[in-house]
Amino acid sequence: MYISPRAKIYTKYISPTAIVLGESTVGENTIVDNNVVIGYPTRRSLRSLITSNFEEGYYELLDKASSGSKIGKNVHLRPGTVVYGRVVMGDEIETGHNVLVREDTVVGNNVVIGTLTVIEGHVKIGNNVRIESGVFIPINTVIGDNVFLGPYVIITNDKYPLSRRLQGAVIEDGALIGANSVLIAGVRIGRKAVIAAGSVVTKDVPSETVVAGVPAKPISTGEKYKKKRKLWEEGRI
């Protein structure tokens, strides 16, 4: 365990193998599991210390380079979760195992971030969001409230790699993105739109619209989707 002298810890449920760096704060009744790191520094700040021939050890290097992060209360950071610096996470958040949340990311309240999900930094996530396992969310992505991202949804931010422009996708409130779908850089997914599993979304999707395929095309409406979901729940389809 390494807890920065600058950090403020308000929970007693913290693993002996956890690392809390910089001016981080951890809220009440939050569980900080095995090998969790809070406030991990960016490459730039690490390298600038090393270039100036930093003389102390590993933990001191990380701590000095860290900007710290803010973790709310009743959060559960499962084993191996790493949160970089300048991250603000709300209350009642649950991460799976080995989740990565990079710098300058803001996460609302009551959010689930599934095992192995990678959030690349400079991302905004609303309230009541459910992100399944293995989701990839790159820089500049914006996710509204009540959004669902199925397992292994892959979001991109560079339409013509390797370009110098990174444009994030925007996912509006209540949108549902099916498993293993790919969102191409800069697409806007409208309110309560539905993306079928395995789609590749190359264009904006209007609100309350269901799309599917490679590339994704409209196949149904939000209204019909809700009816089908009801039949599914009743075991009739």
Q: Which amino acid is at 118?
A: V
CA–CA–CA angle 23, 29, 34 (5° rounding) = 70
Burial class from Cβ neighbours inside 10 Å (0-12, 13-18, 19+) for residue 234 reads exposed
User: Which residue, 22 or 40, is less far from a copy of itself as judged by CB?
Assistant: 40
Q: How many residues does the chain have?
A: 237
CB 234 → a copy of itself: shortest distance, Å?
Answer: 8
Burial class from Cβ neighbours inside 10 Å (0-12, 13-18, 19+) for residue 187 reads buried
The answer for residues whose C-beta is within 8 angstroms of residue 38's C-beta and 6 or more apart is: 7, 18, 19, 20, 21, 24, 26, 32, 69, 71, 77, 83
Q: Which of 159, 173, 204, 220 binds a copy of itself (CB under 8 A)?
A: 159
Q: Which of 24, 105, 156, 209 binds a copy of itself (CB under 8 A)?
A: 156
Site for a copy of itself in 28-87 (CB under 8 A): 29, 31, 34-35, 37, 40, 43, 46, 50, 57-59, 61, 76, 79-80, 82
Q: Which of 25, 45, 110, 180 binds a copy of itself (CB under 8 A)?
A: 180
Query: Residue 212 and residue 37: Cα distance in Å, rounded?
Result: 38
User: Which residue, 107 or 216, is less far from a copy of itself as judged by CB?
Assistant: 216
- Using CB under 8 A as the binding criterion, the count of chain residues that bind a copy of itself stands at 68
By the criterion CB under 8 A, which residues form the site for a copy of itself? 12-17, 19, 29, 31, 34-35, 37, 40, 43, 46, 50, 57-59, 61, 76, 79-80, 82, 94, 96-98, 100, 115-116, 118, 120, 130, 133-134, 136, 138, 148, 150-152, 154, 156, 159-165, 176, 178-180, 182, 184, 197-198, 200, 213-214, 225, 228-229, 232-233, 235
